[in-house]
Chain A
Amino acid sequence: MTYIAKPKFHHPGLKKNELGYTHRDYEGKISTLCAGCGHDSITASIIEACYELSIEPHRVAKISGIGCSSKTPDYFLGNSHGFNSVHGRMPSVLTGANLANRDLIYLGVSGDGDSASIGFGQFAHSIRRAVNMTYIVENNGVYGLTKGQFSATADRGSKSKKGVTNTDNAIDLVAIALQLGATFVARSFSGDKTQLVPLIAAAIRHKGASFIDVISPCIAFNNHAGSTKSFDYVREHNDAVNRLDVLVGREPISVDYAPGTVQVVEQHDGSRLALRKLDADYDPHDRLGAMTFLQKHAAKGQIVTGLLYVDPDAEDLHTHLDTVETPLNTLDEQALCPGSAVLDKINASLR
């Protein structure tokens, strides 16, 4: 319950990251979601990723829409500003925030109802515009807060808790993100933190539109037989194409990898992604190949996870708008107002 204060004390020997922050510094309020909810694991993964990246917690802006997933920004990064906005409209709010101050890290948290139904348009257009953000969809295929209606990502033929079969086709947000030009696209599973944490870390370091679809079972309304978003179903059908390690410094790559199994991707900010290939044929630099691969595996009922596509030389909206390096929200009268002499000239031209 959010009104129950989380105790502030912690073990004195708690490990610290490079900036001297402990894990606790990245935590937020106590979750009000159901016990066992997949979303809480994603919250934990976000905390872990931010801790490992040694991000200053207050330099992150957490923005969400409405729904169970959109509540979660209250449960991590308690020293960051959060914005639980309007249903389906996180992408536009995040876009505006990003335009105002390009120096913060933007974390957009949304759900499948928020992004695939009411906010499908905003999801699409924020990706199209290449907003520099990490866009996470906590995807459970169901409306939790309103008690179990299908969402637009629910697979055709899957069954609701009440036994109703879904006859509508599902929207695959990963496929859409690929088509619309997202420069970092991943899918993961809330039950697989070892896969998810580095994906979030890599997405945060990526300068461009990063999208992660995280299948996150709803323990209350979508974890039964007949669901394709239950823990059991996802575990059985998970086809991970790679495993990722994020290397921030210049330290040499760990020798643990078997030769020929690792692909190193250097991102624009100098961070490196070490990709351990699980599927020898999968190439995360091939957008078209990724789309085909996804479709083929989806047809077989498999859920493809991992880093599906990355363009290390991505551009973002600020590049396209050619905005000044200084955040727009810090510009003052001197920088913004052309002054009375210019206005006199304008007046003269209007006579």
Chain B
Amino acid sequence: MSVQSPISSVNDFVVRFANVNGSGSASANELFARSILRHGVPVSPRNIFPSNIQGLPTWYEVRVTEDGHLGARGGVDMMVAMNPQTWDKDVASIEPGGYLFYDSTKPMPTSKFREDITVIGVPLTAITNSTYTDPRQRQLFKNIIYLGALCALLDLDPKLVEQLIGEQYKGKEKLLSSNVHALHLGRDWALQNLKCPLGLRVKKSDKVGDRIFIEGNSAAALGAVYGGATVCAWYPITPSSSVAEAFTSHCKKYRHDPETGKAKYAIVQGEDELASIGIVIGASWNGARAFTATSGPGISLMTEFIGLSYFAEIPAVIMNIQRAGPSTGMPTRTQQCDVIACAYASHGDTKHVLLFPEDPAEAFEFAAAAFDLAERLQTTIFLMLDLDIGMNHRLCRPLKWDDAKQYDRGKVMTAEMLEEGRDFGRYLDVDGDGIPYRTYPGTHPTKGSYFTRGTSRDRYARYSEEGAVYADNMQRLVRKFETAQDMVPRPLQANAAKPTKYGVLYFGSTSPAMDEAIGILEARGHQLDRMRIRAFPFHSSVASFIADHDFVYVVEQNRDAQLRQLIVNENGIDPVRLVPILHYDGTPITARFIANAIGDHQDHLKVTPLRKAVT
């Protein structure tokens, strides 16, 4: 008998499904996550998948969290072990007192289990094989049968699951009824043969509210539709491909002319990332809103064009769905490792605008805003997502759009303005903000044309290798970057309940884990003010935040503390005042990790008075 009592928890636990890639488990697992949401209980699911199509291990983790902690938690309370390849590791990863759910059709030696966990065997294969003959059906329905069993074990309301299946197979009655049947096969077996429910249970709540459940890549693509992107050029690369695919499907729904049926967009799958960014630059030069989506290796390939965009001042939007690098790195694992690569992409002196959304809702907003910024600033805007936000469904606030909003097309000199005799210098800073006017090709028969080039030129776009002319232009580009500082999304600050000497800076997908970690740290007696950076160039409030604290932790998901480097470099901060907290094993950062790292550091700061130590 186990001395460890089984974990008992309502609406706060982690279930992990261990599957074989390509077995059709993904939709059943997603159904599981959605079912819990329908109970009014927030969930945060994550796909942990290999760079493979079929055969390799894949996991799907669902954090059930009444308190709404959407970051990864770490640890597993219940393992649904459907993959013999990873059995030992999966069993070992269960928390003491946790649960192991497995297919008990074939008996397993007791050495394959643990004494401190509850083992739940369901003869899934036997049930499936006695019901279905077609091999593919057996495979797919086995997934629904385990879902049914979990329904009973975790006390899920089967009506809510049925409702979801009904929505999924609307109009496909046969599929609908066979799925519902499979669900009940599993549920009934569990109710008849097992003690249901377990200590882990789902209870109806009202914590989901009007929030939506969406992947960051799909939200970013929708942002591009709302932001007026008409040209998309891309090259397939994990984890960004679903951005272009989602853009394609959104455009098919919302961007066809109702009368002619023709497309109000053009999507080209380029031969590589160089062509993709080239197409974006060409289209933007010609006055269309254009973007590409890629990941680290694609950014490396695009850097020459990014330099051109910076120097010749051509708008471009690049969505970078970051994955673990360098080189091919870990293509299906998450990181925030391209901060420096994107901030300074290209040879020569360059700086680029980066936007750091925290979730799909911000990915939508920032994606749409990126096109305004790109045209206003006439340069490349990076939307920095990562795999964790991009490829996982995340609960977030509903997407919002103000119908009164007009696109900011930036400083474009029209034929009428040229006719009026306005002085047109393509690189002439008329307003003191470093941003010149541009003209679209084909504007006027005799006025406003210019020759775009990556070589040095004067204010009127005339080729020049004069040192002073070159320096004048480079200085203006610095001015333009300063202008950008007040246009990009500002950092958000939240202060601790009590005044504190310590602060923490973080960004992007770290956000939910950080919010949760703050609570854990407070419970340990550590007070921290926090600031979430949402863009580069950094707003002046970042420097003041650092100045207001003795020192500041910088939490990020890469090895080299890239955001910290950027802050030190751009703001002239003494590096000693910025303490790096780094997570970079490719898994999403957790609250536990942050709280431990910061907590330990804080504990070391508490100097025990010498007199006390000797007594």
Contact = CB atoms under 8 A, between A and B. Distances in A.
B398 interface: yes
Nearest to B466: A3
A6 interface: no
B282 A336 contact: no
Interface string A306-335: 000000000001100111110011111101
A201 interface: no
A125 interface: yes
A260 interface: no
B254 A338 contact: yes
Given A86-B305, A324-B264, A97 B285 contact: yes
Interface stretch (B435-443, B491-499, B524-532, B607-615): B435-443
B578 to A, nearest CB: 37
Given A337-B228, A339-B401, A2 B304 contact: no
A111 to B, nearest CB: 16
A82 B426 CA distance: 13
A78 interface: yes
Interface in A29-72: 56-59, 61, 63
B308 interface: yes
A80 B440 contact: no
A318 B257 CA distance: 15
Interface stretch (A87-95, A231-239, A264-272): A87-95
A57 B443 CA distance: 11
Given A81-B440, A321-B267, 14 more contacts: A61-B286, A74-B463, A95-B282, A96-B231, A98-B282, A100-B230, A100-B286, A121-B272, A121-B275, A318-B266, A324-B257, A331-B264, A336-B228, A340-B402
B169 interface: no
A97 B455 contact: no
B262 A322 contact: yes
A80 B228 contact: no
A103 B323 CA distance: 40
Interface in B368-406: 398-403, 405-406
A74 to B, nearest CB: 5
Contact of B266 (A93, A99, A342): A99
A97 B441 contact: yes
Nearest to B213: A350
B231 A100 contact: yes
Given A85-B278, A95-B279, A325 B262 contact: yes
A336 B255 contact: yes
A347 B286 contact: no
A101 interface: yes
A86 B210 CA distance: 48
A99 B283 contact: yes
Nearest to B259: A324
Interface stretch (B128-136, B444-452, B514-522, B563-571): B444-452
Interface string B196-214: 0000000000001011111
Interface string B129-161: 000000000000000000000000000000000
B451 A73 contact: yes
A228 to B, nearest CB: 30
Given A56-B445, A81-B452, A321-B267, A342 B254 contact: yes
A151 interface: no
Given A3-B463, A337-B401, A81 B233 contact: no
B233 A96 contact: yes
Contacts of B263: 321-324
Q: Which of A325, A329, A335 has the most CB of B within 10 A?
A: A329
Given A2-B463, A96-B280, A84 B287 contact: no
Nearest to B255: A336
B457 to A, nearest CB: 10
Contacts of A300: none
**Residue among A80, A340, A351 having the largest count of chain B Cβ atoms under 10 Å:** A351
Interface string B63-79: 00000000000000000
Which size class do B's interface residues fall under?
35 or more
A122 B449 contact: no
A58 B445 contact: yes
Nearest to A339: B403
A310 to B, nearest CB: 25
A103 B280 contact: no
B275 to A, nearest CB: 4
B430 interface: no
A229 to B, nearest CB: 27
Interface string B326-351: 00000000000000000000000000
B282 A97 contact: yes
A83 interface: yes
A84 B451 CA distance: 7
A94 B272 contact: no
18 contacts: A3-B462, A3-B463, A81-B441, A83-B285, A86-B304, A86-B454, A91-B275, A93-B278, A100-B282, A100-B285, A122-B278, A323-B263, A323-B266, A324-B262, A328-B231, A328-B264, A332-B228, A332-B407
Contact of A122 (B274, B281, B452, B462): B274
Given A86-B454, A93-B282, A328-B288, A340 B400 contact: yes
Nearest to B397: A347
B270 interface: yes
A89 B402 CA distance: 39
A328 B400 contact: no
Contacts of B440: 81, 101, 329
B464 interface: yes
Contacts of A340: 400-403
7 closest cross-chain pairs (CB), A and B: A96-B282, A92-B278, A100-B288, A81-B441, A329-B287, A96-B279, A96-B283
Most B CB atoms within 10 A — which of A61, A325, A330?
A61
A3 B231 CA distance: 36
Residue picked from B213, B271, B276, most chain A C-beta under 10 Å: B271
A79 interface: yes
B186 to A, nearest CB: 25
A101 B442 contact: yes
Point out which of B225, B276, B282 has the most chain A C-beta atoms below 10 A from its C-beta.
Answer: B282
A299 interface: no
Interface string A114-138: 0000000110110001000000000
Contacts of A59: 442
B284 interface: yes
Contacts of A92: 233, 270, 274-279, 281-282
Contacts of B455: 84
B587 to A, nearest CB: 26
B371 to A, nearest CB: 10
Given A328-B266, A329-B288, A351-B213, A58 B442 contact: yes
Contacts of B487: none
A336 to B, nearest CB: 4
B241 to A, nearest CB: 19
Contact of B443 (A58, A91, A333): A58
Nearest to A56: B445
Contacts of B264: 323-324, 328, 331, 335-336
A344 B401 CA distance: 9
Nearest to B393: A350
Nearest to B209: A351
Interface in B11-66: 37
Interface string B203-242: 0000010111110000000100110101101000000000
A2 B462 contact: yes
Given A93-B278, A338-B225, A100 B452 contact: no
Contacts of A103: 442
A104 interface: yes
A335 B304 CA distance: 33
A332 B441 CA distance: 18
B265 interface: yes
Contacts of A338: 225-226, 254-255
A343 B287 contact: no
The residue in B279, B280, B281, B290 that gathers the most chain A C-beta atoms within 10 A of its C-beta is B279
A255 interface: no
